[in-house]
Amino acid sequence: MKNFLFIAFILFCSISFAQEKKTRILFILDASNSMNAKWTNDQTRIQAAKELLAQAVDNLAGTPNLEIALRVYGHQSPVTATYQDCQDTKLEVPFGPDNYLNVKYRIKSIEAKGTTPIARSLEAAAGDFPDTTTRNIIILITDGIEACDNDPCVIAKKLHDKGVKVTPFVIGLGMDLSFLDKFKCIGTYSEAETKDAFKNVLDKVISSALVNTTVQINLNDINKSPKETDVTMFLYRAGTKELKYTFTHTLNRAGNPDTLILDPAIKYDLIVNTTPKVEKLDIAIKRNIHNTIIVDCPQGYINVRFTNAAKPYQIESRIMQENSNTTLNVQHMNIPDKYLIGKYKVEVLTLPRTMVNVEVTQSGVSNIDIPAPGYFSYKLGNLITGQIFLIKEDGTFEWVCNIDPNSKAGQWQLQPGSYKLVCRQKNIKSSSNTIERDFRITSNKTSSINL
Say if residue 370's pLDDT is above 60: yes
Say if residue 369's pLDDT is above 90: yes
What confidence tier does 180 reach under pLDDT thresholds 50, 70, 90? low
- CATH superfamily of domain region 5-211: von Willebrand factor, type A domain (3.40.50.410)
What does pTM read for this prediction? 0.66
Predicted pLDDT of residue 11: 36
Class at the top of the CATH hierarchy for domain 374-450 = mainly beta
Ramachandran region, residue 419 (left: φ > 0; alpha: ψ -120 to 50; beta: rest):
beta
- pLDDT (average), residues 35-39: 83
Comparing 53-57, 133-137, 160-164, 344-348, the range with the smallest average pLDDT is 160-164
Half-sphere exposure (Cβ direction) of 327: Cα atoms closer than 13 Å:
9
Predicted pLDDT of residue 59: 82
Say if residue 283's pLDDT is above 90: yes
Say if residue 1's pLDDT is above 50: no
Considering only residues 330 and 260, tell me which one the structure prediction assigns the higher pLDDT. 330
**298 in Cβ contact with 276 (< 8 Å):** no
What span, in angstroms and rounded, lies between the C-alpha atoms of 224 and 241?
30
Say if residue 247's pLDDT is above 70: yes
pLDDT single digits (tens) 287-310:
778 899 999 999 999 999 999 999
Considering only residues 94 and 166, tell me which one the structure prediction assigns the higher pLDDT. 94
pLDDT single digits (tens) 348-357:
999 999 999 9
Q: Hey, what CATH topology would domain 299-370 get?
A: Immunoglobulin-like (2.60.40)
Predicted pLDDT of residue 320: 98
Half-sphere exposure (Cβ direction) of 326: Cα atoms closer than 13 Å:
6
What span, in angstroms and rounded, lies between the C-alpha atoms of 184 and 231?
27
Average pLDDT over all residues of the chain: 85
Of 372, 326, 318, 373, the C-alpha closest to 346 is 318
Say if residue 174's pLDDT is above 60: no
Q: Hey, how many other C-beta atoms are within 10 angstroms of the C-beta on 411?
A: 11
- pLDDT (average), residues 107-113: 94
What confidence tier does 17 reach under pLDDT thresholds 50, 70, 90? very low
What confidence tier does 22 reach under pLDDT thresholds 50, 70, 90? confident
Predicted pLDDT of residue 126: 81
Q: Hey, how many other C-beta atoms are within 10 angstroms of the C-beta on 28?
A: 26
pLDDT single digits (tens) 393-419:
999 999 999 999 999 999 999 999 999
What confidence tier does 157 reach under pLDDT thresholds 50, 70, 90? confident
Say if residue 316's pLDDT is above 80: yes
What confidence tier does 185 reach under pLDDT thresholds 50, 70, 90? low
φ and ψ of 298, to 5 deg: -65, 135
Say if residue 269's pLDDT is above 50: yes
Say if residue 177's pLDDT is above 60: no
Class at the top of the CATH hierarchy for domain 214-296 = mainly beta
Domains 214-296 and 374-450 share a fold: yes
**65 in Cβ contact with 21 (< 8 Å):** yes
φ and ψ of 49, to 5 deg: -65, -45
Predicted pLDDT of residue 289: 81
Comparing 32-36, 106-110, 243-247, 305-309, the range with the smallest average pLDDT is 32-36
What span, in angstroms and rounded, lies between the C-alpha atoms of 65 and 433?
94
Say if residue 9's pLDDT is above 50: no
Considering only residues 89 and 12, tell me which one the structure prediction assigns the higher pLDDT. 89
**367 in Cβ contact with 335 (< 8 Å):** no
Q: Domain segments of the chain: what residues? A: 5-211, 214-296, 299-370, 374-450
- pLDDT (average), residues 193-200: 62
